Amino acid sequence: MFEPIRRRIRHAGLLCEHGADYLLYALMDIIVDSGFILLESLGDQLEALEDEILDNPGYEARNKIHHAKRQLALMRRTWWPQREVAATLMHDDTHFFSATTRLYMRDCYEHCVIVIDFVENHRELASSLLDTYLSAVSQRMNDIMKALTIIATIFLPLTFLTGLYGMNFDTESPWNLPELRWRFGYFYVLGIMAVVVIGMLIYFRRKRWL
């Protein structure tokens, strides 16, 4: 991170012309500016994560969201003190800081404010992604329950028919399941089942449940 500072010192730049106050500003400035790079990378990750959540809201996406939130919380704890330090040094009236360095420190303070604003925006985005993930998981669960309910509803009348004709009564009595004497009774029952299934599917389709 501090390699640019070393190069500027080796090449006798402004760091050699100014005092230790300018060196302090240069170190703080490069630390603050590194936040823009981190936030840009994290912003790209959050955008990619949004597409992943909509396509496949799995446990991996949830873990990525929590990891991003932890990173943003750490960055917030890091840059808030930096802003306070920059604000204090910006108004320092002692002889340790020249007027030029205090002007530079104001620029560092403004960068801190921008970084913190970006961090807060990214935290809100991460929170909204978590809400989106929970909504996607809930919708997926609703779709699964809907499919299972439709399957159970379709098999309910079929179970009734198979249970009705599976009862073992005396076939000699004309009142006990006379259909058992039908030559094609088995195929009649299968046909009734097929009609029931097709009718229920048509009904579900018209109700837009499928």
Q: Which of 108, 141, 174 is the last residue of a domain?
A: 141
The whole-model pTM stands at: 0.64
Residue that the structure tokens 């098999």 belong to: 155
The whole-chain average pLDDT of the chain stands at 81
Do 119 and 152 share a domain, yes or no? no
pLDDT band at 61 (very low <50, low <70, confident <90, very high): confident
What CA–CA distance (Å, rounded) separates 208 from 203? 9
pLDDT band at 194 (very low <50, low <70, confident <90, very high): very high
Q: Which of 120, 141, 162 is the last residue of a domain?
A: 141
Six-digit token string for 55: 């396509």
Six-digit token string for 33: 């500016």
Do 132 and 164 share a domain, yes or no? no
Do 60 and 117 share a domain, yes or no? yes
pLDDT cut 70: percent of the chain above it = 86
Nearest to 92 by CA among 171, 193, 21, 157: 21
What tens digit of pLDDT does each residue of 1-41 get?
556 555 555 544 555 556 677 777 777 888 888 888 888 88
Do 37 and 136 share a domain, yes or no? yes
Which residues form the domain of 29?
3-141
Do 87 and 188 share a domain, yes or no? no
Cβ–Cβ < 8 Å for 29, 108: yes
pLDDT (mean) for 77-106: 78
Do 98 and 121 share a domain, yes or no? yes
Do 110 and 190 share a domain, yes or no? no
C-alpha distance from residue 99 to each of 95, 105, 131 (Å):
9, 10, 48
Do 113 and 188 share a domain, yes or no? no
Do 85 and 168 share a domain, yes or no? no
Cβ–Cβ < 8 Å for 125, 78: no
pLDDT (mean) for 32-56: 84
Helix (H, G, I), strand (E, B) or coil at 75: helix
Total number of residues shown for the chain = 210
User: Nearest 5°: CA angle at 173, between 168 and 179?
Assistant: 65
Give residue 195's pLDDT.
Answer: 92
Our separate counts of H helices and E strands in the chain read 6, 0
Q: Which of 89, 120, 141 is the last residue of a domain?
A: 141
- The CATH number of the domain holding residue 112 is 1.20.58.340
Q: How many domains does the chain have?
A: 2
Give residue 145's pLDDT.
Answer: 92
Do 132 and 153 share a domain, yes or no? no
Six-digit token string for 66: 């929590």
Do 183 and 80 share a domain, yes or no? no
Do 26 and 113 share a domain, yes or no? yes
What CA–CA distance (Å, rounded) separates 86 from 175? 97
pLDDT (mean) for 128-142: 88
